Amino acid sequence: MGLLTLVKNKALLFLGLLFVGIIFKYVVTEDLEIITKFEKRLERLNQNLIKDVNDFRKKENATLLTMARNSELYELVNTVLIYERKFNGIYRYPWVFLNDEPFSDKFKNTIARLTSGPTYFGEIPKEQWDMPDSIDVDRAEASWGNMAMRGIIYGGKKSYRQMCRYYSGFFWKHPLLDSYKYYWRIEHDSNLLCDIKKDPFTELREKNKTYGFVITIKEIAATIPSLWNTTMDFVATYPELLAPNNLWDWISINEGKDYSLCHFWSNFEVADLDFFRSDAYQKYFDYLDNAGGFFYERWGDAPIHSIALSLFLDKNQILFFRDIGYEHSPITYCPTNNKHCSCDVPYGDLKDNNSCIYKYLQVAEGI
């Protein structure tokens, strides 16, 4: 129910009762007791109306976040319009946009006109985006060329690696995110397929969750050949950081010897930023960063987020948003029981070899 409809219905009820009150007072009876009861009823109605309006306006300490370039403006316009229509037009959350270069005035003016809440534009610090001096450039470039020749997606792209490293270790440190507890990552070319009836941020808070996802799939093994071994070295160094009731059985196979390749598709994630700000996560990222795998291989932020979440959190702190339909090429997730969606394509067989949702539900929820 929209705010205007809510106020209209309450106001009509208020006026109706007021009219009845007048009849009681001047036509039917002068009974003071009846008038007093009626006045108390009006006061309660007025208080309920104020409460309903305030509840409608309540929102969490949260922001939407998108990383985009000036050249991606027109794809982004469509995405912003979709998210505003299906979610943010009601809640009016702020929206932060980040770029490794300055945004153009055209970009900022166009996007600011489309968003319902405050809009902020920030530039990523060079020291967080650029390749570290510790990286052997010749070794890294040789790896990129090899991956490109093998046809590995983004295998030859330096900028993709920079983006993955930034999302793995720095995005929450941007000053524009300092004041927020929650964030929702939105890709510039993604599509929200359902009207959002429940605020995902509120759902995280009310259910005491730290992280929410929609899609979980397997990573390309050739992009992360040493990630699991590096992670196991970290675990051996800091065993005290592991949560006792974690998702170890989801994230690993062969009795922990190997990575299952399962990960939450991080281009859609709703999360408590305090997780990334935690000492455990920061130590994990620093350990990985020192190994150089972001540039010598093609470590993605999705497996890194997912491994960290699976190791450092209780498995009950992660939430599967079953009712949110989402599309980011080439994968679509469409809920099977949500009538407020513009899609009819199911997620697919839960036991599909590339999907990790069936195993996740077994480990996390005992299904």
Residue numbers annotated as active site: 269
d(CA 284, CA 303): 13
- Whether the CB-CB separation of 45 and 13 falls below 8 Å is answered with yes
SS3 65: strand
Residue in 69, 177, 178, 174 with CA at minimum distance from that of residue 124: 174
- Whether the CB-CB separation of 126 and 146 falls below 8 Å is answered with no
d(CA 362, CA 9): 46
- Per the document, the length of the chain is 367
d(CA 267, CA 66): 10
Residue 121, both tokens? 């534009």
What DSSP letter does each residue of 51-99 carry, written as one string?
HHHHHHH---SEEEEEE--GGGHHHHHHHHHHHIIIIIHHH---EEEEE
